[in-house]
Amino acid sequence: MSEHDTTVTQEHSGGKLRAGITELLPAAGNGLLGRRSFVKAGLGAAGGIALMQAVPASAARPGHMRSPGPGMSEYGSPAPAEANVKRIGIGSQRGTTGSGASRSPLEHLHGIVTPSGLHFERHHAGVPEIDPASHNILIHGLVKRPLLFTMDALARYPIVSRLQFLECSGNSGTLLAADPPQLSCGELHGLVSGSEWGGVPLAVLLDEAGVLPAARWLIAEGADASVMSRSVPLAKGMDDAIVALYQNGERLRPENGYPARLFLPGWEGNMSVKWLRRINVTAQPAMTKDETSKYSDLQPDGSSLLFTFPMAVKSVITSPSPGLAMQGPGLYQIAGIAWSGNGRIRRVDVSADGGKSWVQAALDDLVLPKSLTRFTSAWRWDGSPGVLLSRAVDETGAVQPTRKSLMSNRAAGAFYHYNAIQAWRVGEAGKVNNVYV
């Protein structure tokens, strides 16, 4: 994008001088700037934002500088001023005490790690309270010898850790509605989170049990009251699956499967069975209630895709987004997350004119496989209406589809695996709305 940048030097002219920095010219329609705006010294072009104020001559020090604050704590918490940053939609489904979902408030977060306290939840019978001292994991079925692992035994195995996303396949499903729901980014897309997951490679445990030649599937079963169960191809179990014990450095949180969960990188969330108690090695999938009544994709011809394992390439702009109003014309950072169950994100393009023109966004340093990836792009907003889009491409070459394209391959009522491009309309007053384009 360097052809869009020219270096200029301006003279001092009061409060608006910018000297010796790179002036950025639009690289795409409606004020989108080139990638270099974020990756080199030309960054200084953000200059228009800084508030130059006269420094108060005798500013009194605030109270918190005049007397010491409270001391250390055993386990810290967010700042009271951030109390509005919490999981979204924590009500249980009607008639249940703990079934349902909560979402990560994506529009308030900035990282590829989601704090464990804000990781999305999806429970089918609430969060079981499990005593780790009496919890075991059984591997049985088509194996030479069934094995029962205590948590203490598991902790003596080699533990690997990786930064990867987890996404519920029902994420973003409300966007199948005929009219665009006027919800926040987190309300729409917050069934995805990122963590450092640490655990024992499942292949190690399967090797030890001795998988028999006829084996093709693993039936993973949770210790919640719904006995959530999914069929997993043996090949995934021998590839990058882990029995996770750690999340972001500490033991799993209860709502994420304490004391142990299956973790299948890149695959739909409920296959990463929480509160794992049993893996039955079989020749066939089990056709459990959790993969037939739910989590299957109806097609236009009336047939159903029973299994859709990897979560497809996807992205969303988290800022600006509904609820984060623009504060008048000027320079803004478009920021968002992209991810793919098939590997690394290769690129993300953004548009500020509803898809007429695109510019490649800058990806943050850490572009890891099957992980959240941050992207940013500079936007000089002139105050006129515009429609923001982001479109991710993964390392397999898969491109995030338009909503129109995605809907053309779906039956009415098909709900899972919605990964279409999200459009945000920025109105004249700076308000941001969800729109279909």
Q: Which stretch binds its own copies (CB under 8 A): 23-31, 156-164, 343-351, 407-415?
A: 156-164
| Interface with its own copies, residue 283, by CB under 8 A | no
| Interface with its own copies, residue 33, by CB under 8 A | no
Taking CB under 8 A as the criterion, the residue among 41, 235, 283, 325 binding its own copies is: 41
Taking CB under 8 A as the criterion, the residue among 24, 147, 176, 188 binding its own copies is: 147
C-beta of 283: minimal distance to its own copies in Å? 20
- CB-nearer residue toward its own copies: 346 or 374: 374
Q: Which stretch binds its own copies (CB under 8 A): 191-199, 263-271, 400-408, 429-437?
A: 191-199
Q: Which stretch binds its own copies (CB under 8 A): 16-24, 183-191, 289-297, 427-435?
A: 16-24
Site for its own copies in 42-61 (CB under 8 A): 43-44, 46-47, 49-53, 55
C-beta of 387: minimal distance to its own copies in Å? 21
Q: Which stretch binds its own copies (CB under 8 A): 1-9, 192-200, 281-289, 424-432?
A: 192-200
C-beta of 28: minimal distance to its own copies in Å? 18
| Interface with its own copies, residue 77, by CB under 8 A | yes
C-beta of 160: minimal distance to its own copies in Å? 6
C-beta of 250: minimal distance to its own copies in Å? 5
Q: Which residues have CB under 8 Å from 58's CB, separation 6+?
A: none
Give the CA distances from residue 342 to residues 25, 163, 166, 307, 312, in Å, rounded to whole numbers and listed in that order. Answer: 35, 15, 13, 16, 7
Site for its own copies in 298-337 (CB under 8 A): 327, 330-333, 335
Q: Which residues have CB under 8 Å from 365's CB, separation 6+?
A: none
Taking CB under 8 A as the criterion, the residue among 81, 177, 178, 412 binding its own copies is: 81
Total site size for its own copies, rule CB under 8 A: 137
| Interface with its own copies, residue 374, by CB under 8 A | yes
CA dist 225 and 126 (Å) reads 8
- Residue 152: which H helix or E strand, with range? helix 151-154
Site for its own copies in 96-135 (CB under 8 A): 96-102, 108-119, 121, 123, 125-134
- CB-nearer residue toward its own copies: 297 or 339: 339
C-beta of 330: minimal distance to its own copies in Å? 8
CB atoms within 10 A of CB 330: 14
| Interface with its own copies, residue 162, by CB under 8 A | yes
C-beta of 301: minimal distance to its own copies in Å? 37
User: Which tokens hold the place of 309?
Assistant: 């394992």
Taking CB under 8 A as the criterion, the residue among 30, 37, 272, 280 binding its own copies is: 37
- CB-nearer residue toward its own copies: 287 or 366: 366
